[in-house]
Structure 1
Amino acid sequence: MQRVVTAELDLEVGVDVDLIFQITAARSMPVVLENLTFRQGDRTYYATEIVDPFGSRLHRLRTEPGPLEVRYEATVSGRAFAPYTSELDTIGYLRPSRYCQSDEVFAHARRQFRGLAGRELIDAVSDYVAASVTYTPGLSLGTDSAVTTLASGQGVCRDYAHLVIALLRAMDVPARYTACFAPDLVPMDFHAVAEAYLEGVWYVIDATRLSQRTSLVRIATGRDAADCAFLSYHGGFVGLDGLRVDASVTADAETEPDDHRALVQLS
């Protein structure tokens, strides 16, 4: 399967700002063509690439104050390789984190999913979040967490992912957050899904039911959205004037809808 992904960010950068982007396909993805540029007028900047232990690629740079155009495009062809998962990783993905407070939803999870384990548990958590949360663009805040989403019953993809992760961790299943490109997503944007660890394999859960999971392109992986922000900065002001994301399948397209009860790895 061949996928073409693009991201365009138009920023207004203040003085002395340290910019960190996570908008490129992860190291594990089979990228065949790729171009990432940072431009201010006629000037081009070159970022330092930093790769974290899970293959997420961070690009760091400083620019002059003023408008900054960030452009990314890539063609991804074939299946990704599965990075090694250590015992330490699985321990980390069992712990509560900033947006996935598994300790705070522990009692609720234990009542709701009592007696379930393995695939049956993963299916039940996915179905529960899909049914109990309403997709509501523009109403959730960047500081909302799994606890907020459980109480409000509304959110966007990051909120669905956080709630799935928190509930799974509360049931002793390692779970992590993945930012990705999702071909033909509606509405189109960067997308977020959860991954659950079962018998040595990470499986993708998209409780929004909006993506075709077999076509996803991994960008970043972490405990929650705090580890996977498409842009973070330190030391000054940055305004986001425009954000455009696109992703499509150009060959060997999946013709059947995603059966979200099937076990699927991010490929």
Structure 2
Amino acid sequence: MKISIRSVLDYTIDGIADLLVQVEAAEMPHQAVRNARFDPGVTEHFSRISAEDGIGTRVWLRSAERLNCTYTAEVEVSRRREDITTMAQDPVHKLPHEAVRYLMASRYCPSDEFQSFVGAEFGSLSGGACIKAMSDWIEDCLSYVPGSSHAGTTALDTFVQRRGICRDYAHLLISLARASAIPARMVSAYGPEVTPMDFHAVVEVWLDGGWRLVDPSGMSAPDRLAIIGVGRDAADIAFLTSYGFVTLQEQVVDVTETA
């Protein structure tokens, strides 16, 4: 599948701010990025650094008064859709170093708070069958309500309120998976079916010795997503992290299938 991407970040800045931007689709297996262009606008500093786990890049900008950057690209996705229900979870003592950190609770994913619930609700399941049941439970029990959460909302908040947006759905699945000793990390991505169109958050879980994509919101599938980056939770994959005061003027995400 081929998709065309355009994203715009337009913010006013109170004085000068250092900005960490992560909006570029990652060059990685199963997705090829072509005709990519990142225009940072007027800036005092521009540099790229590697993102989490070496997947994708972040851009450091130092700007005064205004951030107005645009990213465009075409991405060919060759990732296959997999049936995870037959996949086994790796024994904890055999997990490789790249998966171990994603067993741990993190800022937005207090997985230790979910162990009793996971044992009662999903204790008879393991591996991919357990993840599928968790994802289905989230999709069935939560309502997708834009504006119902905020930057400080955790998975525990979402579990209680039973509503949220894609990042909240992802945080909850990550927490449930980690509570059952399955490594899980958050993924930022572009997808043409995302409604309303925005930067999308999904989940990767470690099954059968590798990372497998799951979207608990049900809006996308692994073969229809262009990955931007990965991390422990939303703090690691934010499209914009500001060290200074900024105010949103306009934000545009436009993703369309081209072939």
Output the amino acid matched with 2:50: V
Residue in 2 aligned with 1:36? 38
Quote the offset at 1:195 in angstroms: 1.1
Which residues of structure 1 form unaligned runs of 5+? 252-267
Is 1:143 matched up with 2:152?
yes
Native 8 Å contact 1:10 1:69 kept in 2: yes
Once the two structures are superposed, residues 58-78 of structure 1 have per-residue CA deviations (whole angstroms, 9 ceiling, x without a partner) of: 000112x22331100001124
Q: What secondary structure is seen at the aligned counterpart in 1 of 2:54?
A: coil
Superposition pairs of residues 159-178 of structure 1, within 5 angstroms? 159-178=168-187
Superposition pairs of residues 60-71 of structure 1, within 5 angstroms? 60-63=60-63, 65-71=64-70
Native 8 Å contact 1:38 1:45 kept in 2: no
Residue in 1 aligned with 2:46? 47
Superposition pairs of residues 123-202 of structure 1, within 5 angstroms? 123-202=132-211
Provide the identity percentage.
36
Is 1:18 matched up with 2:18?
yes
Residue in 2 aligned with 1:250? 258
Native 8 Å contact 1:37 1:46 kept in 2: no
Distance in 2 (alpha carbons) for counterparts of 1:104 and 1:158: 19
Alpha-carbon spacing, 1:58–1:80, altered in 2? closer, same or farther (3 Å): farther
Q: TM-score, normalised by structure 1?
A: 0.86
Quote the offset at 1:212 in angstroms: 3.7
Native 8 Å contact 1:39 1:45 kept in 2: no
Once the two structures are superposed, residues 137-170 of structure 1 have per-residue CA deviations (whole angstroms, 9 ceiling, x without a partner) of: 0111111111001110000000000000000000
Distance in 1 (alpha carbons) for counterparts of 2:79 and 2:169: 24
Distance in 1 (alpha carbons) for counterparts of 2:228 and 2:6: 12
Distance in 2 (alpha carbons) for counterparts of 1:162 and 1:130: 13
Distance in 2 (alpha carbons) for counterparts of 1:143 and 1:162: 12
Quote the offset at 1:206 in angstroms: 1.0
Is 1:27 matched up with 2:35?
no
Q: What secondary structure is seen at the aligned counterpart in 2 of 1:119?
A: helix
Quote the offset at 1:80 in angstroms: 6.1
Q: May I ask how many residue pairs the two structures share in their alignment?
A: 242
Distance in 2 (alpha carbons) for counterparts of 1:246 and 1:166: 30
Is 1:237 matched up with 2:245?
yes
Q: What is the aligned-residue RMSD (CA, Å)?
A: 1.7
Distance in 2 (alpha carbons) for counterparts of 1:152 and 1:20: 31
Native 8 Å contact 1:37 1:45 kept in 2: no
Quote the offset at 1:15 in angstroms: 2.1
Quote the offset at 1:45 in angstroms: 6.1
Q: TM-score, normalised by structure 2?
A: 0.89
Superposition pairs of residues 33-112 of structure 1, within 5 angstroms? 33-40=35-42, 47-52=46-51, 53-63=53-63, 65-79=64-78, 87-112=96-121
Quote the offset at 1:213 in angstroms: 3.1
Residue in 2 aligned with 1:6? 6
Q: What secondary structure is seen at the aligned counterpart in 2 of 1:68?
A: strand
Which residues of structure 2 form unaligned runs of 5+? 81-94
Q: Which has the higher helix share?
A: 2
Is 1:209 matched up with 2:218?
yes
- Higher mean alpha-carbon deviation, 96-105 vs 50-59, is at 50-59
Distance in 2 (alpha carbons) for counterparts of 1:192 and 1:97: 16
Distance in 2 (alpha carbons) for counterparts of 1:92 and 1:212: 25
